[in-house]
Amino acid sequence: MTDPVFVDTNVFLYARDAGEPAKRPRAVSWLAHLWAERLGRTSMQVLSEYYVNATRKLDPGLSPDEAWDDVEMLLTWNPLPVDGLLLQAGREIQRRHRLSWWDSLIVAAARLQGCGLLLSEDLQDGAVIAGVTVRSPFTLASAEASALYRTGPGAVARHPRRGRPKIRA
């Protein structure tokens, strides 16, 4: 079984952005793969960002009805709500990894949903943050991911954990 894959806002936007002829096909391919395999995960934060940016920043932008249709379709992925658990996890990730607040919430949402892979171009490609591997959908093809991210032991961080060492008896 393959781990679920968390999709950040920019992947959804590139899939709808006619002004990005190089990135659009990769984003579309990733989303098609995740729909077919039923592995896609996201969060309410991402869907909110998508709606705003799809209607205001894409050129040409989507109508509010078109953007809402996309959001409504993605609600079937059971996006993680922004709640106290997510905020606490995000704060811990922010403190430990020194990420922005919004990026910390994205990583926390991926982790809380058991995702081994986070597709985003907003974070360092190849970084392992809180047990989640970040990859750009434009450097990793969807076909490659199936072989690389299988359910098993969690991803191993490249850096030692911070904080107080555990006392061994």
**Global confidence as pTM:** 0.84
Instruction: Give the tens place of pLDDT for each residue, 149-169.
Output: 443 334 444 444 454 445 544
| Cα(121)–Cα(128) distance, integer angstroms | 14
Q: Residue 119's pLDDT is what? A: 97
Asked if residues 118 and 8 have their Cβ atoms less than 8 Å apart, the reply is: yes
Residue 53 above 90 pLDDT? yes
Residue 42 above 90 pLDDT? yes
Q: Residue 156's pLDDT is what? A: 42
Q: Residue 89's pLDDT is what? A: 97
Residue 29 above 50 pLDDT? yes
| Cα(11)–Cα(47) distance, integer angstroms | 11
Q: Residue 112's pLDDT is what? A: 97
Instruction: Give the tens place of pLDDT for each residue, 96-139.
Output: 999 999 999 999 999 999 999 999 999 999 999 999 999 999 99
Q: Does domain 5-148 have CATH number 3.90.220.20?
A: no
Average pLDDT of span 81-107: 97
Average pLDDT of span 48-73: 95
Give the number of other Cβ atoms within 10 Å of residue 69's Cβ. Answer: 12
β-strand pairing of 117-119 with 5-7: parallel
Average pLDDT of span 51-80: 95
Closest CA to 3 of 134, 149, 135, 112: 149
* Confidence bin at 141 (pLDDT 50/70/90): confident
Q: Residue 145's pLDDT is what? A: 61
Q: Where are the domains of the chain?
A: 5-148
Give the number of other Cβ atoms within 10 Å of residue 153's Cβ. Answer: 6
